[in-house]
Amino acid sequence: MLVAMVAVSAQPRECSVARTLEIVGEKWALLAVREVFLGNGRFDEMVRRTGAPRDTMAARLRVLVGSGILERRQYSAHPVRFEYHLTDAGRDLYPVILTLMRWGDRHLAGPAGPPLELEHRCGHPLSAQLVCEACGDPVVIGETRAVRNR
């Protein structure tokens, strides 16, 4: 007679990374957000500048709106037309986009250099780094450790 006595080994982690990726963990979703950051909130334009299938873009936008990252706002009645804007939560994704961009700039840029360069308001080309809010030092892997792990 067998009894199930072995505690089933670890379930998938509860994790903010995983949760976030449930919403934006897909190419077209993040590229849609990138477009809005660059000032394009119009459907057709987003499709053109990302290369996403119209169908897929429509689906992603529904999710992004549904999870409070974008807002669908009417900018014209007669003909009724909409455009997408960032919410506060959406604006908080800026660091995600920037760190992705930085990685690509470093590791995937050809000899011609990165295709898009940003300039900070301080006048220097933007090269953003992650620092600890408390001590101001750059955050380096190996210098952090898990404190609570539910």
Partner DNA sequence: CTAGCTAAGTCCGGAATCTGGACCCACCCT
Partner DNA sequence: AGGGTGGGTCCAGATTCCGGACTTAGCTAG
52-71: contacts with DNA (CB under 7 A): 52-56, 58-59, 61
Site for a second copy in 7-26 (CB under 8 A): 9-22, 25-26
Helical axes 94-107 vs 27-37, angle rounded to 10°: 110
Do 59 and 15 form a contact (C-beta atoms < 8 A)?
no
Rg of the chain on CA atoms, in Å = 20
Do 28 and 50 form a contact (C-beta atoms < 8 A)?
yes
Do 57 and 28 form a contact (C-beta atoms < 8 A)?
yes
Site for a second copy in 98-127 (CB under 8 A): 98-109, 112, 114-127
* Interface size with a second copy, residues (CB under 8 A): 84
Rule CB under 8 A: choose which of 2, 77, 79, 148 binds a second copy. 148
The dihedral region occupied by 135, where left means phi > 0, alpha psi between -120 and 50, and beta the remainder, is alpha
Do 51 and 32 form a contact (C-beta atoms < 8 A)?
no
Among a second copy, DNA, none, what does residue 4 contact (CB within 5–8 Å per kind)?
none
One character per residue 9-48, x = contact with DNA (rule: CB under 7 A): -----------------x-x-------------xxxx---
Q: What is the contact surface with DNA in residues (CB under 7 A)? A: 26, 28, 42-45, 51-56, 58-59, 61, 72, 75, 78-79, 81-83
